[in-house]
Amino acid sequence: MSVNREWAHWRASFVPDATRTLAETDFLVRRLPLPAFRRVLDVCCGRGRHARELTRRGYRVLGVDLDGEAIAEAERLAPEAEFRQLDVRALGSLDRGFDAVISLGQTFGLFDAETNAAELAAMRERLRPGGRIVLDVFDRRFVEAAVEVGTGRMRIDLEQDRGAFEWLLYTPDELGAIADEAGLRTLLVCSGFSEQAPADGSAPRFQLVLERPA
């Protein structure tokens, strides 16, 4: 099974709420204030909903995604941003640095533990010293309370025999430890894209803000 291919099928039918996109972008603006974090790499950018809002607010965004159809749509909807078709495992091929890297919409964790850790390390390598990473990740504690996952992976089967996709699930402490090994410092852990909402396992996702030390 190709996780990336099936993920693209699922995402094509996903229509995000505009209010949610604005709230998520507001969070990014607070955690990545201008002018210090103007250059943003949007990993697994999809159709560019965050890139569109960020460019409207003065950021310079490069969005990367494996799904060529999503990239084409992103270019149409967010012409002020730049987009490139790229597998997230090839972030090291990018020829520039960034002030910030974002990976939203639960797009981190699609591979095995070693590959996920390598992806996070590659994000760090794309950052300038003092740069930040914002991750939006499924919370393993919430998922385990709702369903039996057993192996620590969550699998979602798609309708109409279109396959499935899955994630390796993490707790904030587990992902924080991986970030530490990659040379990143944890600045914030929260949920609901709200600094005041604790990541205590009561919400399906948590957000992690990381920094590459100067």
Q: Where are the domains of the chain?
A: 3-211
| Integer CA distances (angstroms), 143 to 24, 138, 190, 197, in order | 22, 8, 17, 18
Residues of the chain with pLDDT under 50: 1-7, 9-14, 157-160, 162-163
pLDDT of 31 reads 98
pLDDT of 13 reads 43
Q: What is the DSSP letter of 90?
A: G
Q: What is the DSSP letter of 139?
A: B
pLDDT of 153 reads 57
pLDDT, tens digit (0-9, with 9 covering 90-100), for 154-192: 555 444 454 456 778 899 999 999 999 999 999 999 999
Sequence-ordered strand ranges (E) for the chain = 39-43, 60-65, 82-85, 98-103, 127-138, 153-157, 164-168, 185-190, 205-211
Pairing between β-strand 153-157 and β-strand 127-138 as defined by DSSP bridges: unpaired
pLDDT of 142 reads 86
Give 75's contacts (C-beta < 8 A, 6+ positions apart): 48, 83
* Single pTM value for the model: 0.87
Superfamily of domain 3-211: Vaccinia Virus protein VP39 (3.40.50.150)
pLDDT, tens digit (0-9, with 9 covering 90-100), for 138-157: 898 888 876 655 555 555 54
